[in-house]
Structure 1
C-alpha cells in the first residue's frame, strides 16, 4: 500500500485514490483533465515526442555525505571550494543545493533558458525546503522537464494566476518554443503556494514588468509586502502604495548596476528572520570566507536571456574599497564544462563570476522566494503579480 501527497492540499492519500482526490479540488472538469495530463507527462518514464523531443523528467540526485555536511549540491560544493581558494581576501555567500540545467541542442537552445532556470530553482526547493517539496509538481521531489512545466504553467493560468500574462500568450504555451520571463516563473510557483516575489531594476524611461525580450507588458508597478521591502528605496505610480524610503547604507545614493549588486548582497546576507548576517561572515585577515545561506537562488532576467544567481562575492581591494561579483549559473553553459573547471579550480571564474561592470543592460528583473507556504487567503492575493520597482 503506497501513499502520495496531494499537490494542492498536501494531504496524504492512497496513491490509487490520488486522481479522484485531486479532481475534487476542481469545479471545472476540463481543468481536472489538464492536471491529470500534466501529472501524466511528469510521471512518464519514457521520452515523448510532442511536437519535438523533450527530455524526460529528471530526478534530483540524493545528497551524499559530503553534500549533507556542507549543505550544497555537488556543483555548489565545488564552487564553495574554489571560492575558498580564490585570490585575495573575499567574502562569499552561497545558497545551498542547486543542480545546473543546461539548454540542449535540438531541444531548447535559443528559447529555453527561462525553463532551465525554473528547473534550477525547483532543484533547490525540493531538496532544501521540505514544505515546498511536498506541494511542488506532485510532491515526489522530481524536477519536471520543459513540456511538463509548460502544462503546469497553463494550469496556473487556468486557476487565475497572472491573467494578464496568460492573455499575452493566448492562454496556451504547451509545446511552444516561446521565451518566458520572470512573471511566468512567479506565476508558476505562486500557483503552488510558494511566495514568489518580483523586483525590477529599470531606467526611469523604461517600462517595468517583463524584460524577457519576448514581450513588453505595461502595468502599474505596486510594492509587494515581502521582507525585502524595508531595504529598498522603491518608486510606484500609485498614491495608495505603502512604499517606504529607508536610509539604508546599502542603497542610499547608489545608482545603476551597483544598486542591483547591493540588493543581491542584502538578499543573501539576511536570514529568514531578516537578521543581517554581514558582520558575522567577514573573513579573517589573509583568508577567504564562504558562507552557505538558507536563501533560495534568484531568477535573473534581462532582455533576451535569463540566468540563475546562486550567490555573491564581496572582494576587499587594497585601497579599502569593496567590489561585488555575482555568482551565476547560466543555462547556456555546458554542465560538464562547469564541473570540469570547478573540479580543476581553473577557468571557472569566466563562467560563474560576473562583476558589476558587466551589468550593462538598462533593465533587469529578479524573482525570489520567501520561506513558508501561502495560506488560502494569501493564494488569492498571489494571483495578481506585483513588483517592487526602483529606478537607476
Structure 2
C-alpha cells in the first residue's frame, strides 16, 4: 500500500502522516501573509472526509467494450478515434436527476485523469486516487473559488455551492480542475449573430447557467459568460475563426444549420485525431491520449469520448460524435455493448442532432501547472469559434 502522496498544491511528495500538515502550510492570507485557519481546516477536513462516488463499474471497461463493437462493424469506410479510458456516471433519481449532469460529467473526466495520468492522479482531490461524490466535488469547487479560481464567476453562486441544486457549466468544470494545477481549457461555439448580441450587453450581465437567470433577449445557456474570449491564435477579442477550424476566413455564403454545426464536428475530429496522441493503431479504431470532452449546451451537458467518420461517395464525410449521457443507465449501456445491439442509439450522434445556437467544450491538456502558471489559470478564458 502506498504510504505517500503528492501535495495537491506544490506537487511535492510527502508521507501521508505529513501531507496534511504540509498542505495546510500553503494557505496564507494574501493581505498580511498570516495563516488562513478557516481555509486550512476545510482542506484538512475534506482530504480525510471526502466520499468515493458510488457508480456501476464496467469490469472490462467501457472503452474496451465500445472499441470491440466498433471493430466488428462491417463498414470499411469508417474511422474512429476514442479516448483511452472513461467510466460512465449516471444521474440517480434520489440524488441529482434534473440538475446534476454537470457534476456527472466532471466525474467522467476525473475517471480518465485518475486512470491515465499518474501525475494528475497524485494531485487531484488530494491524491485520493478515486472520484468523489457530488457533495465532495461541491466542497472542492468552493475551495477553488476561495483560492481565487474564477472569482468573478463564483459571485454568481455567492461563493457557495455545497448542498445546492444549481446548474453548473464548463467554467465550473475548468475552475475545479485548474485548482489542482490541471490545464483545463474551454472552447465556445456560437452563432455569430447571437454572439454579437451578447457582446452588445454590458459586462455586468450574469451568466445563463442557472435556471431562471436568462435575459429577456434569450441568450441560451447554460453558457459561461465570465470568460476572456480568445481568437484561435490566442489573441483576445476580434473576429473569431469563422467557418474554419484552422482560423481561416472561410466564405460569406449563408450555411445551413448542419453545415454551420459541421464546424464543431471538424474541431472535435481534429482534436481526437492528433497524430502525436495516438496509442492503439487498429486500421479503423484508434485510441487517443486525448481527454474526453465536457460537452455543454442549453439545459444539459454530456461527455464526448470519441468521434467516427464515414467516407461516402464523392468525397463526402459523415461524422458521428460518440457521447456518454448521464441520463442513461450504465447497466443498460453495458448490456447493449456486450450484446453489440442497440448501443448506436445510445452513443452515436450525427451533425443533424446539433440544434442549439451555442455549444461549449472543456478538455484537459497534459502537464501540471506550477508557480506563475497557477496564477494564470485562475482567470478562466476560452477560445471562441463562431458559426
| TM-score, with structure 2 as normaliser | 0.83
Secondary structure of the equivalent of 1:222? Answer: strand
Q: Indicate the residue corresponding to 1:122 in structure 2.
A: 110
Change (3 A) 1:250 1:121: farther
* Structure 1 residues 252 and 91: alpha-carbon distance in aligned structure 2, compared to 1, 3 A threshold: farther
For 2:31, the equivalent position in structure 1 comes to: none
Provide the C-alpha distance between the structure 1 equivalents of 2:249 and 2:238, rounded to a whole number of angstroms: 22
Q: Deviations over 1:20-59 (max 9, x none)?
A: 11110111111111212322331x5xxxxxxxxxxx4359
Does residue 162 of the first structure (1) align with residue 114 of the second (2)?
A: no
Instruction: Provide the residue aligned with 2:33 in structure 1.
Output: none
Give 1:307's match in structure 2, choosing from 302, 308, 313.
302
Aligned partner of residue 180 in structure 2, secondary structure: coil
**In 2, are the aligned partners of 1:271 and 1:294 still within 8 Å (CA)?**
no
> Which residue pairs with 2:64 in the alignment?
77
Secondary structure (helix, strand or coil) at the match of 2:355 reads coil
Counterparts of 2:180 and 2:286, CA distance in 1: 30
> Residue 161 of structure 2: which of 173, 176, 193 is its match?
173
Q: Structure 1: which 5+ residue stretches go unaligned?
A: 45-55, 65-72, 284-288
Q: Does 2:298 align with 1:298?
A: no
Distance (whole Å) between structure 2 residues aligned to residue 87 and residue 324 of structure 1: 17
Partner of 1:36: 44
Partner of 1:152 in structure 2?
140
2:208/2:225 contact within 8 Å kept: no
Asked whether 1:222 is paired with 2:229, we answer yes
Q: What does residue 261 of structure 1 align with?
A: 265
Look up the SS of the partner of 2:313 in the other structure: coil
Cα separation, partners in 2 of 1:247 and 1:168, compared to 1, 3 Å: closer
Q: Residue in 2 aligned with 1:237? A: 237
Query: Matches of 1:377 and 1:244 in 2, distance apart?
Result: 32
8 Å CA contact retained: 2:99, 2:166: yes
2:129 to 141, 148, 167: 141
Contact 1:201 1:363 in 2 (8 A): yes
Q: Is the 8 A contact 2:150 2:380 kept in 1?
A: yes
Deviation of 1:142 (Å): 0.6
Query: Aligned in 2, Cα 1:148/1:256: closer, same or farther, shift over 3 Å?
Result: same
Distance 1:379 1:350 in 2: 41
Cα separation, partners in 2 of 1:138 and 1:210, compared to 1, 3 Å = same
Which segment drifts farther, 14-23 or 139-148?
A: 14-23
Q: Distance in 1 between matches of 2:236 and 2:260?
A: 18
Q: Which residue of 2 aligns with 1:332?
A: 327
Judging changes above 3 Å, is the alpha-carbon distance between structure 1 residues 351 and 217 closer, same or farther for their aligned structure 2 residues? closer
Match of 1:70 in 2: none
Equivalent residue pairs, number? 352
Partner SS state of residue 143, structure 1: coil
Q: Give the alignment partner of residue 53 of structure 2, picking from 53, 57, 65.
A: 57
Deviations 1:122-167 (A, max 9, x none): 0000111111111100113110110110000000000000011110
With over 3 angstroms needed to count, the CA separation of the structure-2 counterparts of 1:213 and 1:83, relative to structure 1, is farther
Structure-2 separation of matches of 1:108 and 1:145: 11
Q: Flag the 1:250–1:334 CA change in 2: closer, same or farther, 3 A.
A: farther
Instruction: Give the structure 2 partner of residue 199 of structure 1.
Output: 187
Give the superposition deviation at 1:113: 0.4
**Distance between the aligned counterparts of 2:247 and 2:152, measured in 1?**
36
* 1:79-118 CA distance string (max 9 Å, x none): 0111112242210000011000000111000000000000
Residues in 1 aligned to 2:264 and 2:166: alpha-carbon distance in whole angstroms: 27
1:236 Cα deviation from its structure 2 partner: 5.4
Q: CA deviation at 1:359?
A: 0.3
Q: Hey, what does 1:50 align to over in structure 2?
A: none
Question: Contact (CA 8 Å) 1:235, 1:390: kept in 2 or not?
Answer: no
Using the size of structure 1 for normalisation, the TM-score is 0.82
Give the drift of 1:237. 3.2
RMSD: 3.0
Could you list the runs of 5+ residues in structure 2 that have no partner in the other structure? 29-35, 200-205, 214-222
Contact 1:342 1:348 in 2 (8 A): yes
Give the Cα separation in 2 of the matches to 1:313 and 1:211.
32
